[in-house]
Structure 1
Amino acid sequence: MNITPRFVELPPLLIAGMRELLTHDPDAIPALWQKFGPHINNITHQTNAVAYGLCVHSSENKSGELYYMAGCEVREFTDLPADLSPLIVPANRYAVFTHEAHVSEIRNTIDYIFDRWLPTSGVKHKCQLVHFFERYAEDFDPAKGIGGTEIWLPVES
């Protein structure tokens, strides 16, 4: 695997979604997407049908735990359904990697980014609120597990 990223300056993103503490349960993230799926295109103030899977540092404790959030971008947080949480993704520079395989293989792309690309890239991972996120384009087909998928890694020089 050899993926060359593009670099993007991203303004803050307002995300509304559902979140779960990351565990070693391989079914936890797919189950979260199953619960969140009906909200896509049905959230007040949603900007488009792009979906995000965010790996976020937990602010509830200092043990380094991460949670995963399935969400969509919104213009504002007013009138959110009770089962959705707000999250502001900070403005930052990102290295953006295209994931071309089936979504079940996304872990391979993430491992490549952190284990092979990052150590030799000349940039540093900017460890902030959002550890990294997945962006699922409007052409992503969740039933087939394929379509526009990217991994966005916050970086600094």
Structure 2
Amino acid sequence: MIPNNIQAIEEPLHLGCLVKKYAIPGKMDLTSQWIEFLRYFPKLKSGNLSMTYGVCWHISDDEMEYWAATKVNPADQLPSEFEHRSLKAHEYGVFLHEGHVSELSNTVDAIFKGWDEAYEYQPDFNNRFFFEKYGPSFEPQTGLGGVEVWVPVIKQ
């Protein structure tokens, strides 16, 4: 499997995040986390609902964080339940997720288990995260459309 394209984030991406920790393996209640995120969303000064992010940050082999997030100004005051986080400038392999959002883990598994080792870009395992980007065509009511998975990459 190879990315649909390679894109660079030229400057750090500043995010306002509702952060939750999850055990690996374990049940991740991401739906409740997103519902909570949306409840606080009106309090975000510069947030944009047409572009949200789900960041999977691996803390260790048995624990990860999931950030329900939107781009914000680093100077914004956030609700007390939120944290400022940022993703560094880097190159990313971008994969389109074609199915329902509940099937996103299948796409992620296919990316990491089926990466073409001959491809000129490889996952950058020095970065222990990837993120989901929910664009303007994503329909939260149906769980369909406009979802990409971004994986940090390095050129071989």
Q: What RMSD, in angstroms, separates the aligned Cα atoms of the two structures?
A: 2.2
Q: Judging changes above 3 Å, is the alpha-carbon distance between structure 1 residues 40 and 5 closer, same or farther for their aligned structure 2 residues?
A: farther
Instruction: Give how far 1:38 is off.
Output: 2.5
Q: 1:141 aligns with which of 126, 139, 147?
A: 139
Instruction: Give how far 1:41 is off.
Output: 5.6
Structure 2: gaps of 5 or more residues: none
Measured in 2, the distance between the counterparts of 1:70 and 1:77 equals: 19
Matched residue pairs, number?
153
Q: Judging changes above 3 Å, is the alpha-carbon distance between structure 1 residues 41 and 113 closer, same or farther for their aligned structure 2 residues?
A: farther
Structure 1: gaps of 5 or more residues: none
TM-score (norm 1): 0.85
Which residue of the partner structure matches residue 14 of structure 1? 14
Instruction: Give how far 1:68 is off.
Output: 0.6
Instruction: Give how far 1:3 is off.
Output: 6.3
Deviations 1:16-54 (A, max 9, x none): 011111234435111111111233464112256311000
Q: 2:74 aligns with which of 63, 73, 76?
A: 76
**Secondary structure, aligned partner of 1:76:** coil
Deviations 1:97-143 (A, max 9, x none): 01011111111110110000254534332235551000001221112
Q: Which moved more, 1:124-133 or 1:83-92?
A: 124-133
Query: Percent same amino acid among aligned pairs?
Result: 29
TM-score (norm 2): 0.85
Paired AA for residue 21 in structure 1: K
